[in-house]
Amino acid sequence: KPSIVWFRDDLRAADNPALRAAADDGSAVALYVLDEESPGIRPLGGASRWWLHHSLLALREDLAALGVPLLLRRGPATEVVRETATAVGTGSLYWNRRYGEPERMLDAGIKTWARESGMHAESFQASLLHEPWAVTTKQGGPFKVFTPFWRTVSGLDFREPLEAPEPGRGFSGRLPESEDLDTWGMLPRNPDWSAGLAESWQPGSAQAHELLDDFVENGLADYSVNRDRPDVPGSSRLSPFLRWGQLSPFEVWHAQQCRRQELGDGAAVFASELGWREFCWHQYFHHPDLATANLRPGFDHYPWAWPGGQGAGSHEPAVQEAANLLRAWQQGRTGFPIVDAGQRQLWHTGWMHNRVRMVSASLLVKNLGIHWQVGEQWFWDTLVDADPASNPANWQWVAGSGADASPFFRIFNPETQAKKFDPNGSYVGQWIPELSTADYPEPVVDLKASRREALDAYGNLPR
Ligand code: FAD
């Protein structure tokens, strides 16, 4: 009987334990389900849909080289997986674990159904180095602060990445027809805004490995110095590949570990960034409402300018003004060059440098007074690495409402940040050609006054 491997956020052939298990059975069939209907599943943003479309094309090719057919299906996953497993006459169902609450509930239901139907069903650890339930404080609860979390786990080592299965382990019998990816409508049309994304990325494991090898060879040594500089290619740019699983954290971990002795600091700092990714996922596991609720409930009383008390449709001048400020931020027209460069980089490439993400998010939340969830949703829609855990966790970090958040009074000043991290102005110059002309807008907000207002509002929050 054929075995089904159900692909989700693990769109790779190498270091994929579920695929290996299916191939070891001797006749693997791969399945991907686009589920936009099951309760609680967050609909993908526009840039993510573009990435996913191209990733599935790349995955289909990678699997075809192994002789494994990929079935594409759209619909509520519970029904689709059951129907497909029945139609294929499968004996075993394999997948790599997901950690969001709705996804876990759904997977648990399918596992129970499969076992009751006489199938073998098994899940594996593949997307995180540490299972969220396995890392606890001495008292047995989850870590709330990154430093002790990382101190506890950073000394551990991990299994070697698995090779992709040998070719010839795919199922070659009759299968139900795969859906046509083009009918899923994941590519933008009218207008097609994806040209910049296509210039910047080739979604798939091939580019992921090229970037990883190049970074470990040329970038890792100076990472701890260059990572904060948006004007130099100092970070790995692996985030979308880690988000979609075209690269596993085990592969990335071992690649840096190979040069750890020789490089010391650069490699250790890079490893701790992988630690932040884990920490975000652990927070999300323990707080499934991370994207929709302040982890510090005192922030429920913060007087946001937007969404205003009167709601988004209001014609109140204050609400209208906040809506205009939001639009200026989204379009890179705030008059703060480093923020505008970041927002334009995001719109054009689907990615923004981490330092600039922090500065831009801080301006939105603290100077423009706009709710962090509004910014989170914009990033969710526009980032190719839009991640269900890292995006809300980082927004809550910047806003000060998160578990281990940056202190609220640490408000990034976009002017000093630009001087420090883009000292020659080359990053800003690259994204804002009209910078020194009259076409470039004046700052939309007074930094000093808005900072004062934010601090006063924070001071009035209930503790
Ligand atoms: P590198 O510096 O090369 O780091 C290596 C890897 O470590 C990254 O690919 C990423 O997987 C992980 N990582 C690094 N920093 C962080 C961090 N602060 N939190 C979690 N993981 C981290 N990252 C996302 O992957 N998806 C998001 O949706 C996302 N949203 C963010 C929103 C805001 C407001 C901020 C301030 C940060 C956000 N980040 C997000 C974190 C970080 O900005 C990106 O991971 C990083 O810029 C990706 O570039 P890189 O791959 O070159 O990173």
The per-residue DSSP string of 269-292 comes to: HHHHHHHHHHHHHHHHHH-TTTTT
CATH number given to 1-126: 3.40.50.620
* Biggest CA pair distance of the chain: 71
Provide CB contacts within 8 A for 296, sequence distance 6+.
Answer: 400, 401, 402, 405
Q: Are 387 and 51 in contact (CB under 8 A)?
A: no
Is the pLDDT reported for residue 311 higher than 80?
Answer: no
User: For the chain, first and last CA: distance in Å?
Assistant: 60
pLDDT given at position 395: 97
**Alpha carbons 219 and 234: distance in angstroms, whole number:** 6
What is the pLDDT averaged over residues 66-79? 98
Is the pLDDT reported for residue 312 higher than 70?
Answer: no
Is the pLDDT reported for residue 182 higher than 70?
Answer: yes
128-157+205-286 CATH fold:
1.25.40
For residue 40, what are the CA distances in angstroms to 36, 59, 390, 457? 10, 26, 18, 33
Is the pLDDT reported for residue 463 higher than 90?
Answer: no
Q: Are 186 and 50 in contact (CB under 8 A)?
A: yes
pLDDT given at position 154: 87
ipTM over 0.95: yes
pLDDT category at 308 given cuts 50, 70, 90 is low
Distance 436 CA to ligand 1 centre (A): 31
Is the pLDDT reported for residue 266 higher than 90?
Answer: no
Residue-wise pLDDT for 6-50, tens only, equals: 999 999 999 999 999 999 999 999 999 999 999 999 999 999 999
pLDDT given at position 163: 97
Is the pLDDT reported for residue 436 higher than 90?
Answer: yes
Residue nearest atom 32 in ligand 1 by C-alpha distance? 391
pLDDT category at 319 given cuts 50, 70, 90 is confident
Distance 242 CA to ligand 1 centre (A): 10
Q: Are 28 and 331 in contact (CB under 8 A)?
A: no
Structurally, at CATH architecture level, domain 297-459 sits in Orthogonal Bundle (1.10)
Ligand 1 neighbours (beta carbon < 6 A): 227, 235-239, 242-243, 273-274, 276-277, 280, 354, 357-358, 361, 379, 383, 385-387, 390-391, 394-395, 398
**Alpha carbons 70 and 68: distance in angstroms, whole number:** 7
**Alpha carbons 129 and 152: distance in angstroms, whole number:** 13
Q: What is the mean pLDDT of the chain?
A: 95
Show the 3-state SS of 207-269: HHHHHHHHHHHHHHHHHHHHCCCCCCCCCCCCHHHHHHCCCCHHHHHHHHHCCHHHHCHHHHH
pLDDT given at position 300: 95
Provide CB contacts within 8 A for 266, sequence distance 6+.
Answer: 220, 221, 222, 223, 224
- Domain parsing of the chain, residue ranges: 1-126, 128-157+205-286, 297-459
Is the pLDDT reported for residue 403 higher than 90?
Answer: no
**Alpha carbons 377 and 388: distance in angstroms, whole number:** 11
> 162-176, 226-240, 298-312: lowest mean pLDDT where?
298-312
- Three-state DSSP class for residue 27: coil
pLDDT given at position 309: 52
Q: Identical fold at 128-157+205-286 and 297-459?
A: no
pLDDT category at 260 given cuts 50, 70, 90 is confident
For residue 324, what are the CA distances in angstroms to 280, 304, 422? 32, 15, 28
Express as a percent the part of the chain with pLDDT over 90: 91
Distance 351 CA to ligand 1 centre (A): 10
Residue nearest atom 34 in ligand 1 by C-alpha distance? 395
